[in-house]
Amino acid sequence: MVNSQAMVEARSLCKDYGATRAVDGVSFQVSRGEVVGFLGPNGAGKSTTMKMLTGFLNPTSGSAFVAGIDVADDPIAAKRMVGYLPENAPLYDDMMVVDFLHYVADIRAIEGTHRLERLQTICRRCGLDDILGKNIGQLSKGYRQRVGLAQAMVHDPDLLILDEPTSGLDPNQIVEIRELIRELGREKTVLLSTHILPEVQASCDRIMIISDGKLVADDTPEMLSGTDGGAIVRVVLKGAAAAQSAETVLAAVAGVTGVTSLGAEQEGQVFRLRCAAGADPREQIFQTAVDKGLVLIDLHRERVSLEDTFRELTMTEGGAHA
Amino acid sequence: MRNVVSVARRELRAYFDSPVAYIVIVSFLAVAGWMFFSTLFLMGRADMRPFFAPSPFSPSMLLVILAPAITMRLIAEERKSGTIELLLTMPMRDSEIVIGKFLAAVALVAVALLLTLAYPLTVSSLGALDWGPVVAGYVGMLLFASTLLAIGILCSALTENQIVAFIVAFLISGVLYYVYWLQFFMPPALAPMIEFLSVSFHLDNMARGVVDSRDVVYYLSVTAGALFVATYTLGRRHA
């Protein structure tokens, strides 16, 4: 298998539930070794997309590939490559943790001494050593989630698909799971979904935002922390100098993609400049202002949080999301 | 094949870790024993036929109730608790899952049947018992039970509600069982067909000690058909 090959690929995946389209033409690629966060409001289609990638749901149209294998063509081979933690970590409540892990190892064909080594490693990493003899039904939510994660790792898969791995956990447990994911991300490809924003910022190399079944953004956390992938610069010009001409001057600066006049404040005219992705035109803005004789009294880059981007991208015209 | 064994082993263990297996076994032994011995001494013959032969009040009738109770949780519970998502994203064929669960249910009934061997042993101590029909009867019982269990799994695959699975399976099995005695009320032209469709007709033949390929083929094909549809239902993933 070539290293550059995409570990996961979605090609215009669509899924209809009756008359509603839950996932609408989602396409993306995840390369080997990436940790990708799937972000979106509840009901946006995150889980449905993941269910199609893991072969639990058949797409209405489009196709899903795992390590180059078409999930619809050879589901068994594709499922061998994946470790999957479904939403809410469904587990057999009537089984003991240790029996459950052996059952998974049975089906994953992990045999002999290799099995014992694997299970020991996993139990240590997921912190299950103390609860092996307990019934899964008695476990707290945090432990259930860890058992679910352990179950996904039994066969040491190259790809982990985790659907809301930290939902329902308390802050300490969230930190633990997040650390585990970060650790896993060093050697594995991880695709995780969440609607908790700090979580993806903390653990992902890349973020995909899905809204109403459509992929609306696909970028690094840094880029998405600025609207349109670029930064926002706030400029205040002294005096009531013709706002109109100042706006034109600012708009002409290289790297600025848009200018909004926010009107006059005490200090002077306030402008909000949108910048091209990756550009930081503050120096040019300063130079231009000097050249054109504009008195610049404030120039700073505004912090745009991922929350802002998320809200902007996922709030539909109707106001709220589905 | 190894997946079938893994699934079957887990399900069998789930039966024996819960009261289900013990309730099934004890109630079958007790009620079937009572049904059988209450008539045995009246007839005063060393004969196991009343044990195997279908009647509205017989051990096989008891299985019409017990089989759906055994199978109702097999797939419905997985749907309800969401573990079906775990199961269907493991590298297994849907058919392996269905067959594994089916074999676990058959094994449970087989254990119950095996324990009833105490009855023919008791009878043979009371008089000369012909073991040929007994063997045929047991084969018939197991085939009969397998058919009911396959129907039960199919019903369990259709819903996430265990009660619904139980009731539907019980109704289907009950109709297939009792229609044997209703054939007298049917148009004569239809009677042989209805007789052939009934699960009890074939058991009646085998209880006489005759292992006829037609009866065996009937049971095996209904079982295979039900398991096939159950697999298909499991594969149609729309939820």
Residue pair A121/A93 in contact (Cβ under 8 Å)? The answer is no
Whether A79 contacts chain B with CB within 8 A? yes
Considering only CA atoms, give the Rg of chain A.
Answer: 24
Mean pLDDT of the A22-42 span: 90
Residue pair A21/A14 in contact (Cβ under 8 Å)? The answer is yes
My answer on whether A132 and A268 are in the same domain is no
Of A57, A91, A103, the CB nearest to B10: A103
Last residue of a domain, one of A224, A244, A262: A224
Share of chain A above pLDDT 70, in %: 90
Query: Which of chain A's residues have a Cβ under 8 Å away from the Cβ of B18?
Result: 94
Per-residue model confidence as pLDDT tens digits over B148-174:
999 999 999 999 999 999 999 999 999
Residue A142 has pLDDT above 50, yes or no: yes
A317 located within any domain: no
Of A86, A92, A99, the CB nearest to B85: A86
My answer on whether A174 and A268 are in the same domain is no
Per-residue pLDDT at A299: 85
Per-residue model confidence as pLDDT tens digits over A43-92:
888 999 999 999 999 999 999 999 999 999 999 999 999 999 999 899 99
Per-residue model confidence as pLDDT tens digits over B177-214:
998 888 778 888 888 888 888 999 999 999 998 889 99
A86 located within any domain: yes
CA-CA distance, A108 to A80, in Å (whole number)? 7
My answer on whether A199 and A293 are in the same domain is no
Of A76, A82, A91, the CB nearest to B83: A91
CA distance A59 to chain B (A): 10
Of A17, A79, A94, the CB nearest to B17: A94
Q: What is the 3-state secondary structure (H, E, C) of A201-239?
A: HHHCCEEEEEECCEEEEEECHHHHCCHHHEEEEEEEEEE
CA-CA distance, A142 to A128, in Å (whole number)? 11
Residue A3 has pLDDT above 50, yes or no: no
Per-residue model confidence as pLDDT tens digits over A194-245:
877 777 877 888 889 888 888 888 877 777 765 455 677 888 887 656 667 7
B13-26: string of b/e by CB count within 10 Å (b at 16+)? bbbeeeeebeebbe
Positive or negative torsion for Cα B136, B138, B141, B146:
negative
My answer on whether A134 and A197 are in the same domain is yes
* A positions 14-73 inside 8 Å of B (CB): 17, 51, 54-58
Between B112 and A317, where is the model more confident? B112
Instruction: Supply the DSSP symbol for A129.
Output: G
My answer on whether A233 and A128 are in the same domain is no
Mean pLDDT of the A10-37 span: 91
Averaged pLDDT of chain A: 84
Of A57, A76, A94, the CB nearest to B91: A76
My answer on whether A168 and A237 are in the same domain is no
- Would you state the structure tokens that stand for residue A51, as one six-digit string? 């269910």
Per-residue pLDDT at B134: 93
What confidence category does residue A172 fall into, taking pLDDT thresholds of 50, 70 and 90? confident
Closest B-chain CA to A81: B91
Mean pLDDT of the A95-99 span: 94
My answer on whether A200 and A284 are in the same domain is no
Per-residue pLDDT at A148: 93
Of B14, B90, B238, the CB nearest to A94: B14
My answer on whether A141 and A276 are in the same domain is no
Residue A1 has pLDDT above 50, yes or no: no
My answer on whether A192 and A240 are in the same domain is no
Instruction: List the beta bridge partners of residue A21.
Output: A16
Residue pair B215/B140 in contact (Cβ under 8 Å)? The answer is yes
Mean pLDDT of the A89-107 span: 94
Per-residue pLDDT at A43: 82
Share of chain A above pLDDT 90, in %: 37
Per-residue pLDDT at B47: 86
Nearest to residue A270, comparing CAs of A233, A305, A231? A233
Q: Which CATH number goes with the domain that contains A249?
A: 3.30.70.3190
What confidence category does residue A322 fall into, taking pLDDT thresholds of 50, 70 and 90? very low
A319 located within any domain: no
A310 located within any domain: no
Between A280 and A145, where is the model more confident? A145
Between A5 and B68, where is the model more confident? B68
A109 located within any domain: yes
For residue B18, CA distances in Å to A122, A133, B11, B77, B91 come to 28, 17, 11, 14, 27
β-bridge pairing A35-39 and A189-194: parallel
Per-residue pLDDT at A247: 80
A129 located within any domain: yes
Residue pair B107/B23 in contact (Cβ under 8 Å)? The answer is no
CA-CA distance, B178 to B198, in Å (whole number)? 8
Per-residue model confidence as pLDDT tens digits over A262-300:
777 777 888 878 777 677 788 888 888 888 888 888 888
CA distance B30 to chain A (A): 28
Most B-contacting residue of A51, A60, A69, A92 (CB-CB within 10 A), to test interface: A92
Most B-contacting residue of A106, A135, A153 (CB-CB within 10 A), to test interface: A106
Between B166 and A142, where is the model more confident? B166
Most B-contacting residue of A56, A98, A156 (CB-CB within 10 A), to test interface: A56
- pLDDT tens series, chain B, 239 aa: 889 999 999 999 999 998 999 999 999 999 999 988 888 888 888 888 889 999 888 899 999 999 999 999 999 999 999 999 999 999 999 999 999 999 999 999 999 999 999 999 999 998 888 999 999 999 999 999 999 999 999 999 999 999 999 999 999 999 999 988 887 788 888 888 888 889 999 999 999 988 899 999 999 999 999 999 999 999 876 44
Residue pair A11/A28 in contact (Cβ under 8 Å)? The answer is no
Most B-contacting residue of A107, A115, A145, A161 (CB-CB within 10 A), to test interface: A107
A322 located within any domain: no
CA-CA distance, A237 to A254, in Å (whole number)? 19
Of B10, B13, B90, the CB nearest to A79: B90
My answer on whether A280 and A169 are in the same domain is no
Last residue of a domain, one of A224, A255, A280: A224
Per-residue pLDDT at A316: 57
For A131, the domain range is: 6-224
Instruction: List the beta bridge partners of residue A272.
Output: A234, A260
Residue A255 has pLDDT above 50, yes or no: yes
Most A-contacting residue of B90, B94, B236 (CB-CB within 10 A), to test interface: B90
Last residue of a domain, one of A206, A224, A242: A224
Closest B-chain CA to A71: B89
Closest B-chain CA to A74: B91
A1 located within any domain: no
My answer on whether A207 and A235 are in the same domain is no
Instruction: List the beta bridge partners of residue A38.
Output: A193, A208
Closest B-chain CA to A85: B86
Is B89–A80 a contact, with Cβ atoms under 8 angstroms apart? no
Whether A111 contacts chain B with CB within 8 A? no
Is A82–B89 a contact, with Cβ atoms under 8 angstroms apart? yes
Per-residue pLDDT at A229: 53
Query: Which of chain A's residues have a Cβ under 8 Å away from the Cβ of B3?
Result: 107
CA-CA distance, B199 to B133, in Å (whole number)? 19
Of A88, A95, A151, the CB nearest to B82: A88
Helix (H) or strand (E) holding A1: none
Per-residue pLDDT at A321: 41
My answer on whether A167 and A232 are in the same domain is no
Domain count, chain A: 2
Query: Which of chain A's residues have a Cβ under 8 Å away from the Cβ of B86?
Result: 84, 86, 90-91, 151
Q: Which CATH number goes with the domain that contains A124?
A: 3.40.50.300
